Chains A and B, each alone.
Chain A
Amino acid sequence: MQQVTLTVNGREVTAEIDERTLLLEFVREVAGFTGAHNGCLEARCGCCAIEVDGEITKSCNVLAVQVDGAEVTTVEGLAPQRLAPVEHVTTQSLAGMYAPLEAVRTRAEDLHPLQEAFHRCHALQCGFCTPGMLMVLKGHLEENPEPTRDGVRHAIAGNLCRCTGYQHIVDAAMEAAEVMRGDAPVPADG
């Protein structure tokens, strides 16, 4: 067993863990943030992508002990909409965990421009790939404020989506980039 401390979305979490614990498992099962998903566990699908000290990482292909002491941001860290951490997924009511969507959307700053744009452009269907898509695209747009559609497609080359056909995801990234650059007003109603 090994003691590991991570700051997940601003909350410090210390635990004695089995050395084999993947960062993805730490974030989901120890810290309780279930936004990052396990889609393949072999660094292929991107559903588990999160930031580690500001660098995008596939959390299924990193041991928690490798990043002891790091600051981690998961999709939950993108917007302050979650009210309370998940204690027990099946018994806790969703109402206590999230602000109602209508309430969140009355204040545009509650959603990251990418989340707004995903919603607007219909860039998700089942949503399983979305947390990883958002996190990878966030990094890409921060480094490339003037992205090209081709560049966006390259950026998500390691993120698989079985539903959307990617077209709307690229649309959303391009729209979000405008908002992030300050070229477009934040849409009032989405």
Chain B
Amino acid sequence: MRAFTWLEPGTTTDAVALLREHAPGARLIAGGQSLLLAMKDRTAGPTHLVSLAGVEGLAGVRTADDGSLVVGAATTYTALTRLDATALGGWHGVLGAVAGDLADRPVRNRGTVGGSLCTGDPRYDVPVLAAGVDATLRITGAGGDREVPATGFAQGPGLVALRPDEVLTALVLPPRPRWDAVAFEKFRHRVFDAAIVSVTCALRAGADGVAEARLTVGGATPAPTPVPGAAARLVGPLPDPDAVAAAADAAAEEVLPGGATAGEAVRYRHELVRTLVRRAVTRAAADLRRS
């Protein structure tokens, strides 16, 4: 690990000021679960570490007046799993389920939602869920505050649309009426492994079936990818198994065109996308049928 100076701001304003003062070598650290791995193998070597641990108001979850769920960037996975159905009602509960089913308990105790979003690792789960439910991200920096869609925030391995002097302050999930059913599916070899491919399916009910559908695929491409073409096929009467399978085939083709006849690695992911889209849509549609 390369040497660095340790800094502990108490507010986001101070954190931003420290990032500016010590540019370009300064980096934020939340739980450190991803950053420390990179620092230990020297793929990252910040000159200054600006800790978010003591920054006021950055951890915790609250429901805003409009019903959206504001998840502080420094909220740990474990904190999310401890919330009950009052705090994480309806499909918002999928966030708690996802947070409780990745890595292991020691990592979940320290890893944060913001760290997951800002690492830009295509295998991480929260970015695929965030993009999949059309969430927004709150960002504050020297240039002021801004909100951006979670979709498009990650731009490739290790790359996110964040300026060096900006702090992600919150992940905002849309109000519950935005969707009637959300399902997240992933495939990994062992429980402790990161996902190879993951999928989010979000459905809004209409008078006689599905009024709006959103499908997002992670892991198959360098950043979470929406597949609007395949999702559009789901709009209409509740899809039967054949319609689900057709949408799954279309999704795989949309994310990895020609993947069915490509080399092994791509073919494998193509197949996983088909399978996981089928599972996610089936589960979300069953939820719709019940509600």
Contacts and interface: CB of A to CB of B under 8 A. Distances in A.
A19 B191 contact: no
Interface stretch (B3-11, B63-71, B196-204, B243-251): B3-11
A162 interface: no
Nearest to B53: A66
A155 interface: yes
Interface residues of B, number: 26
A172 interface: no
Interface string B74-109: 000010000000000000000000000001111101
A65 interface: yes
B106 A49 contact: yes
Given A19-B4, A61-B33, A157-B104, A56 B109 contact: yes
Given A19-B49, A57-B109, 17 more contacts: A2-B6, A20-B1, A41-B40, A42-B37, A42-B41, A43-B37, A49-B106, A56-B106, A63-B36, A65-B6, A66-B29, A66-B32, A66-B53, A136-B106, A140-B105, A155-B104, A158-B106
A56 B106 CA distance: 5
Contacts of B106: 43, 46, 49, 56-58, 136, 158
B51 interface: yes
A109 interface: no
A55 to B, nearest CB: 5
Contacts, number: 68
Contact of A58 (B29, B107, B190): B107
B110 A57 contact: yes
- Taking residues whose C-beta sits less than 8 angstroms from the other chain, chain A's interface range is 20 to 34
Contacts of B49: 19
Interface string A152-179: 0011011100000000000000000000
A187 interface: no
Contacts of A63: 6, 32, 36
Contact of B36 (A61, A154, A159): A61
Given A55-B78, A62-B110, A66-B51, A155 B105 contact: yes
Closest A-B pairs by Cβ, 10 of them: A158-B104, A157-B192, A157-B191, A58-B106, A55-B109, A20-B1, A19-B6, A56-B106, A158-B192, A65-B6
A31 B257 CA distance: 57
Contacts of B192: 44, 157-158
23 contacts: A18-B3, A19-B4, A19-B6, A20-B1, A43-B33, A43-B107, A44-B192, A46-B104, A55-B78, A56-B105, A58-B106, A61-B37, A63-B6, A63-B36, A66-B29, A66-B32, A157-B190, A157-B191, A158-B104, A158-B105, A158-B106, A158-B107, A159-B104
Contacts of B37: 42-43, 61
A101 B3 CA distance: 44
Nearest to A132: B106
Interface in A53-84: 55-58, 61-63, 65-66
Nearest to A20: B1
Contacts of B109: 55-57
Nearest to A67: B53
Contacts of B5: 19
Interface string B102-124: 01111101100000000000000
Contacts of A57: 106, 109-110
Contacts of B29: 66
Interface in B1-57: 1, 3-6, 29, 32-33, 36-37, 40-41, 49, 51, 53
B289 to A, nearest CB: 29
Interface string A1-43: 0100000000000000011100000000000000000000111
Contacts of B1: 20
